[in-house]
Amino acid sequence: MKAFLTILIFILSCRLSFSQGNDHLVPVDGYFHSFVQSKVIQTYFERTQETLFKGIEENQYFVRVVVLPSFQPEKLLSVESQKEGLVLLKRTVDIPIWAYVSPHVSLPNRELKLIEQKVRVSEALATELKELFLIAIYKTKYPESSQMITDGASYYFITHKQWEGEMAGKTLSPENGTKMHELVKLTELMEKLLQNNAPVEDQESMIEAIKVLKKKLQEN
């Protein structure tokens, strides 16, 4: 609870202090996309999708976030409908998927182990998250200037809407003080919900943080 509140306080008190020229999600084609044309990267994306999304219903979710760190295992966060109701699902692996496809990394001599956690969440939280993702994705823009970043994490925010289909946008290690950094911090709150078994008060606090960020994203 204490760690959850620490992140929440950061989000609610955050103020923009950096240039906002690139403070938005970047459009993506499908789940994953890179401006660098590479067979290795394409294979990596395909392997990641096959692993993290295996057996998941494509039309039963509210929002999804895929996190691709540089040196840590990849992970999926998904709010979706399952037999037991609405759940927040996390899937990750014990070894980075990149290790299986990169020509510069020795191939581990064993299969990937898929690790899964899930917890029930409210429809109110699921709905607020979806509205937030839609606002952020509708404001996607291509970057004003290219920037080479050799490490960090890519965050893919995914949702869908009737008649429009699936939509997604991504951000790469956004700077502190930006709206995209606040959006990324919300994914940390999602993980805290999983760790703490999603108490009602934490879900309600997260809803308030989402509402604050929605207003910021709608300002311009």
Q: In terms of Cα–Cα distance, which of 68, 74, 58, 90 is closest to 159?
A: 58
Length of the chain (residues): 220
pLDDT (tens place) for every residue of the chain, 220 residues total: 545 444 444 343 333 333 334 799 998 876 665 555 678 888 888 889 999 998 887 778 999 999 999 889 999 999 999 988 999 999 999 989 888 777 776 666 667 899 999 999 999 999 999 999 999 999 998 877 655 555 689 999 999 988 888 899 999 989 999 999 999 999 999 999 999 999 999 999 999 999 999 999 998 6
Determine the 3-state secondary structure of 99 from DSSP: helix
pLDDT at 14: 39
- Residue range 153-201, pLDDT digits in tens: 999 999 998 888 889 999 998 999 999 999 999 999 999 999 999 999 9
- What does the alpha-carbon distance between residue 181 and residue 45 come to, in Å, rounded to a whole number? 23
Task: Give the pTM.
Answer: 0.84
- The one-letter amino acid code at 135 reads I
Judge whether 152 and 84 are in contact, CB under 8 Å. Answer: no
Q: What pLDDT was estimated at residue 9?
A: 41
Q: Count the domains in the chain.
A: 1
Domain hosting 95: range is: 2-218
Closest CA to 179 of 4, 7, 22: 22
